[in-house]
Chain A
Amino acid sequence: MAVITQSSGAQASARERISLKKRPRPGETIIQSLLFVSGFISILTTIGIVLVLVSEALIFFASPEVSLIEFFTDTVWAPEAGRVGILPLVTSTLITSVIAMIIALPIGLSAAIFLSEYASPRARGYLKPILELLAGIPTIVYGFFAVTFMTPLLKNIFGADVVEFYNMASAGLVMSVMIVPIVASMSEDALSAVPRALREGSYGLGATRLETSLKIVVPAAASGIAAALIVGISRAFGETMIVALAAGAGPNFTFNPFQAAETMTGHIARISSGDLSFDSLDYISIFSIGLLLFIMTLTLNMISRWFVRRYREVY
């Protein structure tokens, strides 16, 4: 196999050889940099959020009226009066969210099980878009629904003197209507990711459809469902318009769901929508609430993503 390498073959002489050397491609470089900068904007957003919340919160905690211990233990929130206990805002956030999740989780999960395990592909083709439409309705509309429908309804059922005009129950119930599609859609994704073989194995043992769904499929999709639950809670914590309209117009430390109590988000919205002065303690104080809210939702979202990754890894 004696072969001589020649630089000028018949083919090479016919055509001019293109250099392999790198040449500058300024256009390509500029575009790549622009694309990177676009991606980096998201980092800047996060840095911005953290910086704004932390720096303003630090100013707040540094002011002489405020102590960190009081912040987490006092039950009155009235910054201008020197009382800065975040508890009333946190409890009402928790109460409205818990009411919402107690209803949204079973209904959302059941709807998801029905869609994934019972509904025909045709029916699913119609029902899922309707659920998605429900999820796309702006929350201000839910807020309107809460004050004009749910609150009068509760007053009719429990008595007008028991149920206040603003109350946490109405906000929580309507919030559950808003969260059902989110829980349903995420759970459905998790349920339909469960391999068919598991279901067939269960049917092969003589289990009914319901037994298969509840005892085999749901446990197998547990981490996805957990993710849906947590995202639901996180949404409930962060939801603003429903609580701003229906839950209350002032902080109130109470555990009675029929009483008015402003949530963290509702308070931020009310304070910042007025003509507030930028150097008042009221203005500074909302950033400490925002920081706490950010930490709460971020933690929940990270846990949720961890759950989602887990079920994606399993299958």
Chain B
Amino acid sequence: MAVSPSPFPQTLPAPPEIGADPSVRRRQRIGAIGQAGLFLSLVIALVALIVLLLDVVNKIGGMAVYGYRVDPLTIVPSIPLEELSQEELLQIARDFIPAERLDELPDELGMTLEELTTDDLIGVIYNEVPNPETITARPLDTLADQELVEVLDNNITDARFNQLNAEKPFESRSREELIELIEEEVLLESVVKTWPLLASLFNRQAIEEEIQANYPGSEYGFHWWLTPEFIISDLTTRPETTGVRTAIIGSVLVIFFTILFAVPVGIAAGIYLEEFAGKSRINTLIQTNIYNLSGVPSIIYGMLGLAIFVRALSEFTSGAAFGIPDPPPNGRTVISAALTMGLLILPLIIINTQEAIRAVPQSLRDGSLALGATKWQTVRHHVLPVAMPSILTGIILGISRAVGETAPLIVVGAAAFVTTDPSGLFSTFTVLPTQIYTWAKLPFDTFRNISAAAIVVLLVVVILFNLTAIIMRNRLRKSL
């Protein structure tokens, strides 16, 4: 633009340069810092997620030192000292009595070891050597098959012995199998010390040096806690051999019956509230009530289940009323858990179904009603098919919640140590989250390892469910 000569050129201020105002620049700087701060918050939230997952994964495997809970030498037959010759006894005394004691002994006894009678020599050995019977113990691998079976018989209960024999007769087992069996059943081969997965992968050298320094002679190696056997094994009291099959079957059964109860009822209630309910007082009450129920802590549902399903209705929930043979003493059964869990996820499913139905365009209903379809025909043929994917998303989220929910089931259900797979509505049971809780409570590393392994199993299921639901919902949003 051409500048026309001004009559008062001196009084015109210079036009401000954009961005030159120091206050603006300062504000922009604050803005940038603020933005970084906001972003940082998001990063913190995401880092928390990563750390949490790493913490779990870090415990599902790693370097481990093995040992026996029971000293092998204490269970094998040994040769009685009385049967040994004086020479052999003297050899034992020289080998097993510490050198300084050997020097002191002649003064204490008033004579040299060689001068003692065999009986006195045996007495000295018993006094001076800890666990003297193990000295002459015969190592497992020197024993005959029959002797191995005897070792087993002497150290486990008759019931267990018979059970093992029934699984596979001892006569038909090989030597190696028998030794393995003894290690498993009697010696309780166990992990005495573990290291985290990441350290084991990236710092194996240092760990091995540490093991050799602190656990000389011990067997060690890389130990996975999350193994196929872990998933299919029975529950036992030992972290090395226990498994989550019973808990997985329990979870699947409870969830199955939860779905059977909550999904139809939830969808039906959602349909009722969106399509059929007028504005009567009872319907407003139902609606408000559902919102409130969705905020009730899950443990309260557990208490409801405990008082109503487990206690008040125990006749039914234990199956006694239906003539189930040998019913459990109270209603801590699959059906009580499923009903409790069903009530818990019901509000979730109802609210979601309502939202899905609300999103169906009114024109579709009009089109159907105008043809003389009844309300239900309209809902059944036009509204539900359109709303279904979105309803399903809500159901998946509800199921995922039920899979991971722990507190109500602790209150309602699996209190005891359950080793038999639940088989139906009236079985006592345990579920995966309860099992995780029980193990995580114990302050031993190895129990935390199996707890982590079980968490991975649980998380895989839950994350798969959630991912499916989130992806489905995002697809739906795009298509609408």
Chain A: residues with CB nearer than 8 A to chain B? 25, 27-28, 31-32, 34-36, 38-43, 45-46, 48-49, 52-53, 56, 106-111, 113-115, 118, 125, 127, 129-134, 136-145, 147-149, 165, 177, 180-181, 184, 206, 208-211, 213-214, 231, 234, 237-241, 244-245, 265, 268-269, 272-275, 278, 286-287, 290, 293-294, 297-298, 300-302, 304-305
Residue B186 at the chain A interface, CB threshold 8 Å: no
Cβ of B343 within 8 Å of any chain A Cβ, yes or no, is yes
User: Which 10 A-B pairs have CB atoms at the shortest separation, nearest pair first?
Assistant: A238-B297, A138-B404, A110-B41, A301-B295, A38-B268, A240-B407, A35-B272, A210-B34, A114-B38, A210-B31
Q: How long is the Cα–Cα vector from A143 to B219 in the complex, in angstroms? A: 33
Tell me which residues across on chain A come within 8 A of B24, comparing CB atoms: 206
Chain B residues within 8 Å of A, Cβ to Cβ: 24, 27-28, 30-31, 34-35, 37-42, 44-46, 48-49, 51-52, 55-56, 59, 264-266, 268-269, 271-273, 276-277, 283, 285-286, 289-293, 295-304, 306-308, 311, 343, 346-347, 350, 374-376, 397, 400-401, 403-407, 410-411, 415-416, 433, 436-437, 440-441, 443, 448, 451-452, 455, 458-459, 462-463, 465-467, 470, 474
Say yes or no: A40 contacts B466, CB within 8 Å. no
Shortest Cβ distance from residue B270 to the other chain A in the assembled complex, whole angstroms? 8
Q: Are the C-beta atoms of A268 and B474 separated by less than 8 Å? A: no
Q: Which of B272, B411, B470, B474 contacts A38 (CB 8 A)?
A: B272
Q: Which residues of A contact B283 (CB under 8 A)?
A: 39
CB distance from A154 to the nearest CB of B (A): 14
**Could you jot down 16 A-B contacts, CB within 8 Å?**
A28-B376, A35-B268, A49-B301, A49-B304, A108-B41, A138-B462, A140-B455, A144-B451, A145-B56, A177-B45, A181-B45, A210-B30, A210-B31, A268-B299, A272-B302, A305-B292
CA distance A268 to B303 in the complex (A): 9
**Which residues of chain B come closer than 8 Å to A211, judged between CB atoms?**
27, 31
In the complex, chain A residues whose CB is within 8 Å of the CB of B403: 138
Q: Is the interface of A mostly helix, strand, loop or mixed?
A: helix
Interface centre among B24, B39, B299, B458 (most CB of A within 10 A): B299
Bound Cα distance A309, B407 (Å): 31
Are A113 and B306 touching (Cβ within 8 A)?
A: no
A55's nearest neighbour on chain B, judged by CB, is B307
Point out the residues of chain B lying under 8 angstroms from A129, CB to CB.
470, 474
Give the residues in chain A near B297, CB-CB below 8 Å.
234, 237-240, 265, 293-294, 297
When the two chains form the complex, which single residue of A41, A141, A209, A300 contacts B458, counting CB atoms closer than 8 Å? Answer: A141
Measured between alpha carbons, how far is A34 from B465 in the docked complex, in Å? 30
Known: A49-B296, A52-B307. A43 touches B286 (CB 8 A): yes
Contact A143 B285 (CB under 8 A): no
Q: Is there contact, CB below 8 Å, between A38 and B51?
A: no
Contacts of B31 in A (CB 8 A): 208-211
Contact of A141 among B27, B56, B296, B410 (CB under 8 A): B56
Summarize B's interface: helix, strand, loop or mixed. helix
Contact residues in A for B299 (Cβ distance below 8 Å) = 238, 240, 265, 268-269, 290, 293
Which residues from A are CB-within-8-Å of B52?
Answer: 137, 141-142, 145, 149, 177
- Write the nearest CB–CB distance from A313 to chain B, whole angstroms: 16
A298 touches B292 (CB 8 A): yes
Q: Across the interface, do A240 and B298 meet the contact criterion of CB distance under 8 Å?
A: yes
Q: Given A137-B459, A240-B299, are A114 and B404 neighbors across the interface (CB < 8 Å)?
A: no
Q: Provide the residues of chain A in CB contact with B451, threshold 8 Å.
A: 144
Query: In the complex the two chains form, what is the Cα distance from A217 to B22 in whole Å?
Result: 25
**Are the CB atoms of B466 and A46 closer together than 8 Å?**
no
A129 (CB) vs chain B CBs: closest residue: B470
Q: Decide: A41 near B269, CB < 8 A? Known: A52-B308, A145-B56, A265-B407.
A: yes
Closest partner residue, chain A, to B463 (CB atom): A133
One of A45, A108, A144, A149 near B343 (C-beta < 8 A): A45
Given pairs A27-B376, A265-B299, A273-B415, 19 additional interface contacts (CB within 8 A): A35-B269, A39-B286, A41-B265, A42-B350, A52-B304, A114-B41, A114-B42, A134-B49, A136-B397, A136-B466, A137-B462, A138-B458, A145-B52, A148-B59, A210-B35, A238-B298, A272-B303, A290-B303, A300-B295
In the assembled complex, how far is the CB of residue B463 from the closest CB belonging to chain A, in whole angstroms?
Answer: 7
Minimal beta-carbon separation of B337 from chain A (angstroms): 13
In the complex, A237 Cα to B301 Cα: how many Å? 15
Once bound together, how far apart are the Cα atoms of A40 and B55, in whole Å? 44
Contacts of A241 in B (CB 8 A): 406-407, 433, 437
Bound complex: CA A25 to CA B59 (Å): 62
Min C-beta distance of A217 to chain B, whole Å:
12
How distant is A183 from chain B, measured CB to nearest CB, in Å? 10
Contact of B39 among A53, A114, A137 (CB under 8 A): A114
Q: Which A residues are in CB contact (< 8 Å) with B405?
A: 138
Closest residue on chain B to residue A38 by CB atoms: B268
Q: Which residue of B lies closest to A268 (CB)?
A: B299
- Name which residue of chain B comes closest to A297, CB basis: B297
Q: Closest residue to A238 on the B side, CB-wise?
A: B297
Interface hub of A28, A140, A297, A298 (most chain B Cβ within 10 A): A140
A17: min CB distance to chain B, Å: 14
Query: In whole angstroms, what is the CA distance A287 to B299 when docked?
Result: 11
Q: How far is the CB of A94 from chain B (nearest CB, A)?
A: 15
Question: What residue in chain A is nearest B436 (Cβ atoms)?
Answer: A140
Say how far B54's CB is from chain A's closest CB, in angstroms: 9
- Set of chain A residues within 8 Å of B56, measured between Cβ atoms: 141, 144-145
**Could you tell me if A148 and B55 are in contact, using CB atoms closer than 8 angstroms?**
yes
Complex CA gap A109/B272 in Å reads: 36
Contact of B462 among A43, A107, A136 (CB under 8 A): A136
A22 CB to nearest B CB, Å:
12
Q: Most A CB atoms within 10 A — which of B40, B343, B406, B463?
A: B406
Residues in B neighbouring A25, C-beta threshold 8 A: 374
Q: Shortest beta-carbon distance, B58 to chain A, in Å? A: 9
Chain A residue at smallest Cβ distance from B41 = A110
B276 touches A294 (CB 8 A): no
How far is it, in angstroms, between the C-alpha of A143 and the C-alpha of B441 when the chains are bound? 10
Evaluate whether A275 and B440 lie within 8 angstroms (CB atoms) in the complex, with A38-B269, A144-B455 already known.
Answer: no
Residues of B within 8 Å of A34, CB to CB, are 268
Distance of A147 Cα from B304 Cα, bound (Å): 29
- Complex alpha-carbon distance, A136 and B415, angstroms: 25
A114 to B343, CA, bound (A): 36
Residue of A nearest to B410 (CB): A273
A39 near B41 with CB under 8 A, answer no
What distance in Å separates the Cβ of B261 from its nearest Cβ neighbour in chain A? 10
Instruction: Point out the residues of chain B lying under 8 angstroms from A49, CB to CB.
Output: 296, 300-301, 304
